Amino acid sequence: MNPPTVTVHDSTLRDGQHAVRHQLDADKIRTYAAAADTAGVPVLEVGHGNGIGASSRQVGLSKTDDATMLTTAREAMPHSRLATLMLPGWATSTDLRCAIHHGVDIVRVAAHCTEADVTERHLGVIRDLGAEAQGVLLMSHLAQPEELAAQCRRMVDYGAQAVCIFDSAGTYLPEDVTTRITAITTAVDVPVAFHGHNNLGMAVANSLTAVRAGARVLDACARGFGAGAGNSQLEVLVAVLERYGHTTGIDLRLVAQAADLAERTLMPAPPTIDSTSLVSGLAGVFSGFKKPVLAAAQQAGVSPWDVFVELGRRRVLAGQEDLIPDAINTLTSLGERP
């Protein structure tokens, strides 16, 4: 049998925003979007790191507003589909209508891995507006395979035309991916996607494992540009998929050039797996906590490693950065120091 076709969903201009505190400007968005389109990338996701409507002091003020980001990318991409992300609680139905008005083809509605119920209304609105609605489960390692499958089934019942699980903390090993993707593909009849982070250096391997377990959509970023240790590296993933015989429709040489461009223009340096990113993956804490943890730990004179361990014990979620001082207070009361 021929290896299945895999759709690669490029989230460089959304997940990568976490790495630069959401400061990408219109020129950088336009240049990379055009390069990705020329390379044949089928889907490019654009927006604030936490999705449309999320620019705030709590999670970071965006340099460029949602409308400008989306229209800039849309104008630069005559071929690729434009996607964006939304989290209920940050974005509203008004944000959805504006995004689709500005040319968005696909909207992903994201929720904590056990809270698919909050996606129902927004998935319906997206379908009513004529865009493709996809459901996303964040921090998916915090749920067992059967629970993830049930939550994905619920999102499909709400109208999701694809479902995706995020390894938000980069904590999965291949067997973790196999059990979860297998359970989900058994439970739903829509495409299943996997979004890998690279805290343990497993993002590409986990993505390939997801395909073998039945996923047909993989997320990736140029040079791995993303929160913490970054994401599955786009150009490497495409090359490895090609070696295994999977068709992606992406020109490998041109996507490698797009990645070179991304490294020069989007990021101060490509993501690396430093000790903080490593412990984030081991503790199961969202990669986006890296910068606020480092800053708070330095100010308090405690070890960021210990802060991540404490946050992992508390099973914190993205958006709960306000718990970092509480975790530090616990450590200082115990006399923890670097």
Residues noted as catalytic: 18
Residues 296, 303: contact at Cβ < 8 Å? no
CA gap 242, 245 in Å, rounded? 5
Q: What is the DSSP letter of 287?
A: G
CA 157 from centroid of its chain's CA atoms: 23
Please give the full DSSP string across 122-147, using - where no structure is assigned: HHHHHHHTTSEEEEEEESGGGS-HHH
Please give the full DSSP string across 49-112, using - where no structure is assigned: TT-TT--BTTTB--SS-HHHHHHHHHHH-SSSEEEEEE-BTTB-HHHHHHHHHTT--EEEEEEE
Residues 214, 235: contact at Cβ < 8 Å? no
Residues 4, 246: contact at Cβ < 8 Å? yes
Task: Find all residues with CB under 8 Å of 295, minimum gap 6, and list them.
Answer: none
Burial class (CB in 10 A: 0-12, 13-18, 19+), 211: buried
Burial class (CB in 10 A: 0-12, 13-18, 19+), 201: middle
Q: What is the largest CA-CA distance in the chain?
A: 61
Helices 290-300 & 275-283, crossing angle to 10 degrees? 110
Q: What is the DSSP letter of 336?
A: -
Whole-Å CA distances, 318 to 34, 161, 200, 241, 332 = 31, 25, 19, 30, 23
